[in-house]
Amino acid sequence: MNMKNSLLKSTEPRLLKPVVENASAPYQLICFPCAGGNASMFQSWADFLGADIELLGLHAPGRGARFAEPAFDNMDALVNCLLDEADVLERKPYILLGHSLGARVAYEFAKRATQLGYPAPLHFIASGSRAPNGPKVSSPTHSLPSSEFMNTILEMGGIPDEVRESQEMLHLLEPTFRADFKIAEQYTSTAIPLDCPITAICGDEDYKVPEGLVKKWGSFTTSSWCVRCFSGGHFFINQNPHVIPEISRLIVRCFALFTKPKMDMVS
């Protein structure tokens, strides 16, 4: 690592940091939010994960505590900064989970990090996201005039009521939404597989990301994969009370299976 990268790591806020502090946990779940979202959308997951799993999230500029900073509008720039923090992947076994755009950010990060020799995730969970090589189902929105752009965003749902009802807040957040949607609409990747199982989850009423596009995640793994469809739209993870408990059980099982062979060898 050169001196410049060392200096950046020590002075700039980290992108990947705990959503809920649990540093002594032996495992970590690293979550990537949707376009316009922040890591707080995963805060309630900690209640279902137990004490053995530390919950980390992407705390990106342009939202939350980093609201005053300009948001990334380019996948390469975002992932290059994430790679400066790839040491987090060496600290303890981990699972990656991303919703919508967050799934594709998580994939690009994992792909490039493992190519550099960092450990692969134990499992990859893509939620409400087309695969990176999937066709786009709608025309680009990030360059629409302001009123059309915001109407499109609001129609998708997922924006908290206190934000939806405040024109001032919507105006302030518009640059961040545009930046995220620019990444979402311009990023593609060929199917370079990860060396871990993939679970893709989706909503059965998600007209933006139908199940057919979600199934394309199967070509992004050298291991097993499955698709699980829940009732709900694009933000089914917020709408359906069964989703978080069920996916949390999958995460807990994955870490338990990772631990079990070691225990069997000892016994």
For 138-167, the pLDDT digits (tens) are: 567 886 777 788 888 888 777 777 777 778
Average pLDDT over residues 90-115: 97
Predicted confidence at residue 160, as pLDDT, reads 78
In a domain, 8, yes or no: no
Numbers of helices and strands, H then E, in the chain: 11, 7
Give the DSSP letter of residue 237. Answer: H
- pLDDT digit string (tens) for 75-86? 999 999 999 999
Domain that includes residue 72, residue range: 15-266
- pTM for this structure? 0.90
Average pLDDT, the chain: 88
The C-alpha atoms of residue 95 and residue 64 are separated, in whole angstroms, by: 24
Q: Which of 11-15, 34-38, 197-201 has the lowest mean pLDDT?
A: 11-15
Give the DSSP letter of residue 116. Answer: T
In this prediction, residue 2 has a pLDDT band, given cuts at 50, 70 and 90, of: very low
The residues near 159 (Cβ < 8 Å, ≥ 6 apart) are 36, 153
Predicted confidence at residue 129, as pLDDT, reads 96
Predicted confidence at residue 262, as pLDDT, reads 54
In a domain, 46, yes or no: yes
Beta bridge partners of 54: 28
3-state secondary structure 168-196: HHHHHHHHHHHHHHHHHHHCCCCCCCECC
Predicted confidence at residue 10, as pLDDT, reads 47
Average pLDDT over residues 100-111: 97
In this prediction, residue 136 has a pLDDT band, given cuts at 50, 70 and 90, of: low
**Sign of CA pseudo-dihedral 241, 247, 252, 253:** positive
Predicted confidence at residue 159, as pLDDT, reads 79
Counting the structural domains of the chain, the total is 1
Average pLDDT over residues 184-194: 93
In this prediction, residue 261 has a pLDDT band, given cuts at 50, 70 and 90, of: low
DSSP three-state, residue 221: strand
Q: What CATH number does the domain containing 239 carry?
A: 3.40.50.1820
Q: Give 262: exposed, middle or buried? Use CB within 10 Å, 0-12, 13-18, 19+.
A: exposed
Predicted confidence at residue 260, as pLDDT, reads 66
Q: Does 192 or 9 have the greater pLDDT score? A: 192
In a domain, 9, yes or no: no
In a domain, 7, yes or no: no
In this prediction, residue 264 has a pLDDT band, given cuts at 50, 70 and 90, of: low
Predicted confidence at residue 204, as pLDDT, reads 94
In a domain, 4, yes or no: no
In a domain, 193, yes or no: yes
Instruction: Tell me which residue of 179, 22, 157, 141 sits closest to 99, measured CA to CA.
Output: 157
Phi, psi dihedrals of residue 110, rounded to the nearest 5°: -65, -45
- pLDDT digit string (tens) for 61-76? 998 889 899 999 999 9
